[in-house]
Structure 1
Amino acid sequence: MHEVSDVRVALHQAVLGDMATSKPKRLQKSLTYQAEDIEPSDLARSCASEDDFRQTLREVSSTDRLVDMWRKRLTSWDYADGPSWSQASSRTEERRGDIYDRLELGPETRKLLSQLIPVYKTEAPVVISDTHREWYSTTELHGREWYWPKYLDLLSAKGWLDHAIGAVNDASGKVVERLANPSDPEIYQSRGLVVGHVQSGKTANFTGVIAKAMDAGYRLVIVLSGTLNILRAQTQRRLDMELVGRENILRGASEFESDYADDPAWAKGQFATFGALPSALGGFDIVRMTTSVEDYKSLLQGIVALEFEKQEPALPLYDPQNLHRSSARLMVVKKHKGVLAKLVKDLNKIKTPLSEIPVLIIDDEADEASVNTSNPARTAKRTAINQKISELLRLLPRAQYVGYTATPYANVFVDPSDAEDIYPKDFIISLLPPDGYMGARDFHDFDLPIDAEERTVANSNEKSHVRDILIQGENDDPCLQEAMDMFILTAAMKLYREEEGGLGAGHFTHHTMLIHESVRQSVHRELLGRVTKLWWGAGYTGENGHERLRRLFESDILPVSRARAKGEAVPSTFDELARHVGTALNRIGGDDQPIIVVNGDKDIETGKADFDKRPIWKILIGGQSLSRGFTVEGLTISYFRRSTNNASTLMQMGRWFGFRDGYRDLVRLYLGREEIVGRRKVDLYELFEAICLDEEAFRSELRQYSEPVNGEPQIRPKDVPPLVSAHLPHIKPTSVNKMYNTRLVERGSAGDWHEPSAYPKQTAVSDLRHNVNTWTSVFESLSTEPKEFSHPGDGRGKYRFSALTGELSATEFLKLVSDLRWSDDGVRFLPNLAFLKKITQGERPKVDDWLVLAPQHNLDNTFTLEVNGRSYSWFARDRRRESLFGAIGDPKHRPAALRIAGAKTEVGNEVTESMKSPRRGVVVLYPVVEWDNRLEIGESGDIDPGKLVMTFAFVAPASSQSSDGRVVRFEAIDSGKGLVIDVGE
């Protein structure tokens, strides 16, 4: 029977291998055909039937080798993007049904396969794309694919799950198919942006893109890898290890001549290998123009290394007869003016016409240094790195540019009409976080419907992973000491899991703590002294230190890990863990250097954070070098006090995001709750929460608008800038002067809470009075007694509030908001006004009336309307930049308003439920008194209407969504021609 099983595996392997480069085909016919080549033939024929396959599926487990082969192939078909053989969406039961139909499987076989190999139903990457020419398919490349299949095998060998490999295949394919065809005589430069998450595996995606692009014919790949040597070297090694391979690195040299001769992974055979140079095996070679230790340098001997071979000299390089017989060149280049200048100079010297070379430029951390930050209104001169990238794109007309970043705002605000800049005119692709990724949501309690007092380490991410840095005066040493104690305990926990939990010795290669308080080297010098003193004074081997660790284990580690370890080993007492503490201390400080400073200051740097060359169990002190792009391996404890007024920069400093295999429950984030940004005190936890919400909102908007309407994209990349928002007014997404190229004409906000912000300035007294008069009749019509609203809570306890209520007809509300005056002549409100007009006055009106809520609080903050003498609550709000208000509404008012407008499920409040109506919107009034005017209110509440700002929020009925699915309409400003182009119809 075992012999028959081996034959069966060989037979199905041949069948699935034949289908790998095509579509699913009739299984019975394929089995019969392949059985003729299997020996001995009588055994093969006995396995060559669907009946045999079905019987085998009844007997095997999900881990059987045969099932594993089928899982890989079914997953590949499940994830295929727009195949000719199926109209169903990827990763759906409908797609799987099409696969079974093509295989002509019977009902029971289908059922058994689906039980063993269910459809992995993750969402696909979000694509915002202009139309593109279809050219890329694995069918066309059949026989030419070399590096992509090898990369897939390597990912599988590393233990990647099939659906994760399928996701990389899908996402990388979406990028490559939007590049120009490298063998097309017509020249076209595609420019795109791939948006990942901080430390979420963007490199895996662009490695896949490079592999597929090279196989398709791209022959020069330039990877722009950050601004620091440490990041460039990390990226070079990753590409060399997973793509280039041993033979291309050595090129006939001795193993010991490799730049990785002292790299443990090289000695262990963990670099990709092909058995011989790919060109000797029918493939093509990759020539490295940079190494792990050498950035790009001016080439010698007539730039021979950059000269491309032509088998047919009379034909251009991009002709298939030359292209697929030429080696590819790869260089990983630091974004440095001098380095890029050398590259530009050398390219100008080579004999191969630059117009013939298909080039792929991958820009890692594309929002750093690459974007032109010079204000075009003040100077025509571009910033240095941007200028060099522009020169490369100008020199290399067949160059395709793909930027990668987790913080895309700077890139989407680039002028789309600037032909020499890097605006992603062709596509923006938003990647999903992979399985196992620990991101923003894992440290915050977004939308958690549990009262604050009922939250525990079992149901609250914040309580499990986040710890406050409490500062007494200027001293935070007690908190820093606790964080270091936690670092020791988690180190011991990792050792315990290796020994007691079955993970095996060496599972945790690295264990690190990162302290980030500043980018200034002088601060690092002082911090090194403090941390060193705390380490040697901690008394970890003495009674005091021992008891301190015991208390922290029992109060923190034990309850969190019991609730969140998810099967990982957890000691029941500190005594079970204690014997691993000594080993942990020895690993961290046994060389008398427990601390590594990574900041470029050679006088105080105490070691290298080279995670590739050796295991690192250390405390790291760093700033910019460790805050963008560079992966801090084994990061378990983060002590973070640095802030900024820029959301992109702050998010990139979130090194605690990433993959935490086997120790998610041990991760701790110590955050400053009262740090200074400019002149403002901020809570860093709330700051990160706000920018994480901004990021989620942006990605959500991209997903909403990515669905085509009548086969056409709703929006194109140039329409994306208005989708960027901010939850905190003092934190900008990126530089303001990059947000001037696109105007939003209409924005559908059905079921969304929206707050206008551009109210008249304090100096525009007549406009303020006009707005008060416009709203006066509404205030007069409000109920005399408030109603009580409540909601169980979505993050901050039970939400209760009182509000006066009233009603406006649809036409009354539209007339009212049309008559309001604004500080910007209504420019910012126009998109919303256009939407309100459409749902009120369109051919099919979608709103009947508006419920008006005027929240009342228990404070003495009231004003009196002269016309009726009634008092109403006012709210204290201040403006941000350009006289705009930031957040106006109170979060506790939102659930009731959203429920009444049909955008939220039942909240369990009778008052709220009684006011709900299918075509009803909600208006929430916020009379605002600004800081400078608070003393202007009389004892009886009298106030000059010119000192009162009548602000409001509104929620349009959820049922008012456009029937055709179109939710936005834009005007794009062509700054080069001075024209406005309506792109919404």
Structure 2
Amino acid sequence: MTTDPILHIHTQVLNGMQPSPRKFRTFAELIADEDFPGTDLSEETFHTRLANEEALGDPLTALWARFLNAWDAQDTPQWPTETDPRTPGRRAAIYDRLGFGPALREILDAAVPVVHAAGATVIAKEHIPWYTPERAMARAYYWPAYEQHLRQKKRSEATIADLREATRAVVERLTDPEQEGLRQAKGLVVGHVQSGKTANFTGVIARSIDAGYRLVIVLSGTLNLLRAQTQKRLDMELVGQENILRDADLSDLDSVIGIDYVHDEDWPKFVQHGGRPSAQQSFDIDRLTTRDKDYKGLGEGIRALEFEKRDRAKRLYDPVNLHHAAARVLVVKKNKAVLTKLVKDLKQIRGILGEIPALIIDDESDQASVNTTDPKKWRNNAPTRTAINGLISQLLKLLPRAQYVGYTATPFANVFVDPGDAEDIFPSDFLISLESPDGYMGVRDFHDLDSPLSDSERTPENSQEKAHVRSITSKTGDRLQEAIDSFVLTGALKLFRADHGVDADPFRHHTMLVHESVRTDDHDDLSRRIKSMWHQAGYASAEGHLRLAARWETDFRVVSEARAADLPNPGSYDELRPYVSRARQLINSGGNPVVVVNGNTDRYFDQLDLDFDRTPRVWKILVGGTKLSRGFTVEGLTVTYYRRTARQGDTLMQMGRWFGYRPGYRDLVRLYIGREEPLTKTSTVDLYEAFEAVCRDEELFRQQLKQYSGLIDGKPQLTPNDVAPLVSQHLPWVRPSARNKMFNAELVEIRSPGKPIEPAVYPQDPDMLARNTNRWAPILKAFPAQASQIASLFGAGMAPPRPFSALISRVKHAELVAVLGSLEWEYKGYFAPHLHYLAQLDGSLALVNDWVLIAPQLTDAYRIEASVAESAQLSLARRTRQLGKPAFGRIATVEHRQAAQALIDAAAASGEDAAVGPQTGVALIYPIVEGANAEDVRSAVTNSQADLRKIVMAFTLFPPLAATDSSRRMLRFRAKDSRHDGQAIVSTSGA
């Protein structure tokens, strides 16, 4: 028994409370009476212990962190509370149930702060609840072992709690494996590029096999290298040593011949169950694939899938049999030959297949799995399937109790799968969007999204771009040599930090990625160029060190001081210089600093010796194309030189290999990216801006999923069938996904109470522009001649985030909607979903009475004024359309949007009839001249009159928060569905 009575009692009490907190003192006294009579259980003693925990190694704090974070994160608590997860309110409710006083609450909050992170977003059909906390705990074996493994890997309790909730959300929407009736659930889990989706599906598998799933098929990658990485990860974190060894004796060399991993340096890190699970009243996991062997056939013949039955008169899915049978796990490539062999073997044992609860995990499910055949070429309207899609379909037919869960960071291809094709992989039951994990470098770490700071105000401390992003060209030419210098310097800095106490494990691999083209000939030329630059760089010479010292002083020293002051950093380049020499040696090991990665066969990758799992250290510059943009995780990636364009948004996102975890070296990450790269013979694109636009589309998609994920009267307001219209496309040259993966979907209505509506695609034809401007005339004439300060619209004691002057007027809702309904657009029906919503807000409900119109004025130094359609003198704004497309970038400036949003929020909060009341909307009005400079604007003005053929009447609308009806439904739309033959468009969401 432990010699720490307090820790023992607290451990027993908390373990007994799962999954709900209850009166702590009551249960603690029962445990104390039995095990440690007379133990002081007062809150004062608890408080004192927590205050002195550091000296004891914080075991009690760690214990409470586990349970508090778990209760904080519960999306559907099994105890009565109306509090939201991960909020102070939820934590207070927990303390109430525990019966803790103010002083103890305060010290626990300090020791285990509430992690204010959003949980996973779930879009799902209604399901029959079966995976209750009691059911999950009753047979938990592999899931607790996985949790403990994550703790040993130093994952935070908050991270584990989030994973617990996210995996529960998946498993509870599968079919009950004990259910007699047949039902297949299909779902999609949306992660982030290189964000650790494997951790989620490992947890899902652990929970699922504990619950009763007995055949798990993981479809992983299209290469042996990628499949082997997934196999090892599952073997290490889920299967464990005892299931791998079976009854082999490690001390007997003959008995371990042919068993993988026993000589692997990571073998000590593999999960240990303390003996064969089947000897501990649980069940074993039998692997039908190994690290080195993909599926070759049922190694033991048909017996490999002959499940043990305690009662042969009952079905396998009967609890009497199910929970004593071993689970079978296969990790297979998405390869036609491999999957064909698996399907063929399963057909030979068809009799038992109808009894096996099976789980199919499809990693990178938008790659190879989606059917991309042209529907116009189908015969008799019956789908003609691509090879992998057809084989997955056959697996699902052969295994009627199989559940399908796809994983991807780019979901657009999957949500455009025909929902009416019952044999396809459309996620008809659920779509779960995972939050960006703690420690992950993603979109917002490389882009200053919505920053109100001007370029001159941005520094490496307040700007992600200034800290991490560099153009690939400068005034003196290409910056490839600078990027290579940065790679050497960052390697030296990692070695310096490892020598000064920083965990060196994340520095095991150190890589640079150069990605310019998909053509292999280009890769060879680039490789030769880099090798030449490397040998001429003079890294051992005085000149080379002077160049590196200057780069360190002007770049890395500045950024590291701003963003990594808590990490060891050299005080001068002289301190770093010895590590530069070592870094140079490591990168040039074998006499070649460059590895070209552009093959598409297993043999090619085998000869590269680029297996990050098996190779002790990879310090190289990688040159490649497509194979570096999908599935292949570049470990230790620190410097990226990138200039390749792509015409699909999901492809572009998958090429963002610079996203990922960078522990101990976030401040060292550098992205050299093209700013004016050729798209066609006559046009160029800013790749950095293109990435930002695609990232915005992805973020908007996730935000809308979250917005519509809430239940209305206990019913989902959105199901996976309704998701396709949420996918947006703002760049005409970058589709969300490949054309042959997309189905049409027509959005009928978008409701935006309290949120901005900002069209971007205005007409380009001068006559259309003139007609539109004339239609605005009645409203423009309402503007006064004299400008006012925006502060005049705010109530007493309030002020706009940033003051500015503007012409201000007010119009009735019907007047504004009449104008909006008369406008012409570059794309027919472009504004219709918003107009449909706005037109309903007047009627009998009177949700919106009127609108305050704000026409912002530029400062005196930049202001060019003109009368527009006989209006007062308005300040003309200048905007440019995005290259090669009709869409403008952002219309309203950040300070104008912030002021308008503040007015809407204040009106909803106060409810007072101020200048902007709770039923008043705010509209920012911008007469825009398209152009590159002020002269373009002046050319649109003659005798103080604007040329209406050159004026784009742009606007941003902020409906009041009250602008929604009692149904609280946020959107309504129509979508194609092949189940309704002959009806191209059908309603899927009701009125």
C-alpha contact (below 8 Å) 1:865/1:942 kept by paired residues: no
Selected match of 2:113 from 115, 118, 126: 118
Of the three residues 429, 434, 445, the one matched with 2:437 is 434
**Cα deviation per residue 1:164-206 (whole Å; 9 max; x = unaligned)?**
1111111111111111111111222111111111111111111
1:242: how far off?
A: 0.6
- Are residues 297 and 969 of structure 1, via their aligned partners in 2, closer, same or farther at CA, if it must alter by over 3 Å? same
1:793 matched residue in structure 2:
none
Distance 1:571 1:938 in 2: 57
Distance 2:869 2:64 in 1: 78
How far apart are 1:744 and its partner, in Å?
Answer: 2.5
CA spacing shift, 1:725–1:155, aligned 2, 3 Å = same
Helix, strand or coil: the match of 1:206?
A: helix
| Structure 1 residue 928 displacement after superposition | 7.5
Alignment CA distance shift 1:807-1:192 (3 Å)? same
**How far off is 1:574 after superposition?**
0.4
Distance of aligned partners of 1:630 and 1:319 in 2 relative to their CA distance in 1, 3 Å threshold: same
- Tell me the amino acid that sits aligned with residue 558 of structure 1: R
State the shift of 1:225 in Å: 1.4
Corresponding residue of 1:685? 688
Q: Which residue of 1 aligns with 2:909?
A: none
Q: Note the 1:438-517 alignment, pairs <5 A.
A: 438-470=441-473, 476=478, 479-499=479-499, 501-503=500-502, 508-517=507-516
Partner of 1:230: 225
Matches of 2:410 and 2:608, distance apart in 1: 30
- One-letter amino acid of the counterpart of residue 610, structure 1: D
Moved more, 89-98 or 480-489: 89-98
Verify the 8 A CA contact 2:784 2:872 in the aligned structure 1.
Answer: no
Q: Is the contact between residue 722 and residue 988 of structure 2 (CA under 8 Å) also seen in structure 1?
A: no
Is 1:260 paired with 2:253?
Answer: no
Q: TM-score w.r.t. structure 2 length?
A: 0.87
TM superposition shift of 1:947 = 6.9
How do 1:240-389 residues align onto structure 2 when only pairs under 5 Å count? 240-253=235-248, 254-266=255-267, 269-299=268-298, 302-379=301-378, 380-389=383-392
Deviations 1:238-292 (A, max 9, x none): 11111111222222344453222453212xx111122322112221111112222
| Structure 1 equivalent of residue 204 of structure 2 | 209
Question: Equivalents in 1 of 2:858, 2:820: separation in Å?
Answer: 22
Match of 1:417 among 416, 420, 432: 420
The answer to whether the aligner puts 1:631 opposite 2:641 as a matched pair is: no
Assess if the C-alpha contact under 8 Å between 1:900 and 1:916 holds in 2.
no
1:661 maps to what in 2?
663
What fraction of aligned residue pairs are identical, expressed as a percent? 45
> Does 2:196 align with 1:198?
no
Structure 2: stretches of 5+ with no match in the other structure: 249-254, 792-800, 907-913
Give unpaired runs (5+ residues) of structure 1: 791-797, 907-913
* More divergent stretch after superposition (237-246 vs 407-416): 407-416
Q: Aligned to 1:140, what secondary structure does the other structure show?
A: helix
2:6 aligned residue: 8
Moved more, 179-188 or 302-311: 302-311
Distance 1:534 1:160 in 2: 41
Q: Using a 3 Å threshold, how does the CA distance of structure 1 residues 416 and 946 change in structure 2: closer, same or farther?
A: farther
- Residue 324 of structure 1 and its aligned partner are, at CA, apart by 0.9
CA deviation digits over 1:346-384, x for unaligned, max 9? 111115432221111111112222222233244332222
SS of the residue 2:574 aligns to: helix
Q: CA deviation at 1:702?
A: 1.5
What is the CA-CA distance between 1:722 and the residue it aligns to? 2.1
Contact 1:759 1:949 in 2 (8 A): no
Q: Distance in 2 between matches of 1:860 and 1:111?
A: 55
The answer on whether the counterparts of 1:308 and 1:352 sit within 8 Å (CA) in structure 2 is: no
What's the TM-score once normalised by structure 1's chain length? Answer: 0.88
Whole-Å Cα distance in 2 between the matches of residues 358 and 470 of structure 1? 56
1:160 has 2:161 as partner: no
Please tell me whether the aligned partners of residues 561 and 666 of structure 1 are also in contact (alpha carbons under 8 angstroms): yes
Structure 2 Cα separation of the partners of residues 923 and 110 of structure 1: 47
Matched, 1:981 2:982: no
**Counterpart pick for 2:24 among 6, 23, 27:** 27
1:890 equivalent in structure 2: 891
Matches within 5 A, 1:806-845: 808-821=811-824, 826=829, 828-845=830-847
The alignment partner of 2:266 has SS state of helix
Structure 1 residues 109 and 799: alpha-carbon distance in aligned structure 2, compared to 1, 3 A threshold? closer
Verify the 8 A CA contact 1:598 1:620 in the aligned structure 2: yes
Task: Go from structure 1 to structure 2 and tell me whether the alpha carbon gap of 1:12 and 1:760 turns closer, same or farther (over 3 Å shift).
Answer: closer
Match in the other structure for 1:673 = 675
Task: State the SS of the aligned residue for 2:708.
Answer: helix
**Structure 2: how far apart are the matches of 1:76 and 1:824?**
49
Q: Which moved more, 1:306-315 or 1:563-572?
A: 306-315
1:871 CA displacement:
11
Residue of structure 2 aligned with 1:46, choices 36, 39, 57: 39
Name the SS for the 2:678 alignment partner: strand
Alignment partner of 2:608: what SS?
A: coil
Over 3 Å counting, the alpha-carbon distance change for 1:972 and 1:271 in structure 2 is same
Instruction: Indicate how the Cα distance of structure 1 residues 492 and 710 shifts in structure 2: closer, same or farther if over 3 A, else same.
Output: same
The equivalent of 2:749 in structure 1 is 746
SS at 1:839 equivalent: coil
Aligned-partner Cα distance in 2 for 1:691–1:508: 31
Report the Cα distance in structure 2 between the residues aligned to 1:603 and 1:309, rounded to whole angstroms: 42
Q: What's the CA shift for 1:848?
A: 1.0
The answer to whether the 8 A contact 1:902-1:916 is kept is no
Query: In structure 2, which of residues 850, 853, 856 is the aligned counterpart of residue 851 of structure 1?
Result: 853
Q: 1:392 aligns with which of 357, 381, 395?
A: 395
Q: Is the 8 A contact 1:636 1:667 kept in 2?
A: yes
1:609 lines up with 2:607 in the alignment:
no
Alignment CA distance shift 1:606-1:864 (3 Å): farther
Deviations, residues 334-357 of structure 1 (Å, cap 9, x unaligned): 222222222221111115432221
Q: Larger deviation: 332-341 or 748-757?
A: 748-757
In the alignment, the residues of structure 2 paired with residue 566 and residue 215 of structure 1 have an alpha-carbon distance, to the nearest angstrom, of 45
Q: CA deviation at 1:14?
A: 2.7
Cα distance, 1:505–1:712 mapped onto 2, change above 3 Å: closer
User: How much has 1:761 moved relative to structure 2?
Assistant: 8.7
One-letter code aligned to 2:270: F
User: How many angstroms apart in 2 are the aligned matches of 1:825 and 1:562?
Assistant: 52
1:127 offset after TM fit, Å? Answer: 1.3
Counterpart-to-counterpart distance in 1, 2:774 and 2:44: 82
The verdict on how the C-alpha distance between 1:739 and 1:842 changes in structure 2, with shifts beyond 3 A counting, is farther
**Shift in alpha-carbon separation, 1:261–1:956, aligned structure 2, 3 A:** same
Q: How many residues align?
A: 949
Which amino acid is 1:466 matched to? V
Q: What letter matches 2:17 in structure 1?
A: M
Task: Flag the 1:25–1:459 CA change in 2: closer, same or farther, 3 A.
Answer: closer
Q: CA, structure 1 residues 195+419, in 2 after alignment: closer, same or farther (shift >3 Å)?
A: same
Q: Is it true that 1:18 corresponds to 2:16 in the alignment?
A: yes
- Name the amino acid aligned to 2:646: T
Query: Residue 732 of structure 1: SS of its match in structure 2?
Result: coil
Question: Is the deviation greater in 346-355 or in 652-661?
Answer: 346-355
Q: Which amino acid aligns with 1:449?
A: P
Return the offset for 1:612: 1.2
Compare 567-576 and 773-782 and name the one that shifted more. 773-782
Q: Distance in 1 between matches of 2:48 and 2:941?
A: 88
Asked whether the 8 Å contact 1:234–1:630 carries over to 2, the reply is no
In the TM superposition, residue 156 of structure 1 has moved relative to its aligned partner by 0.6
Corresponding position of 1:69: 63
Task: Judge conservation of contact 1:11–1:44 (CA < 8 Å) in 2.
Answer: no
Q: Which residue of 1 aligns with 2:795?
A: none
Q: Which residue of 1 aligns with 2:180?
A: 185
State how far apart, in whole Å, the 1-side matches of 2:770 and 2:739 are. Answer: 31
Distance 1:757 1:693 in 2: 14
On the 8 A contact 1:726/1:733 being kept in 2, the answer is: yes
Query: Is the contact between residue 866 and residue 946 of structure 2 (CA under 8 Å) also seen in structure 1?
Result: no
Alpha-carbon RMSD across the aligned residues, in angstroms, is: 3.7
Tell me the distance in 1 between the aligned counterparts of 2:604 and 2:118: 49
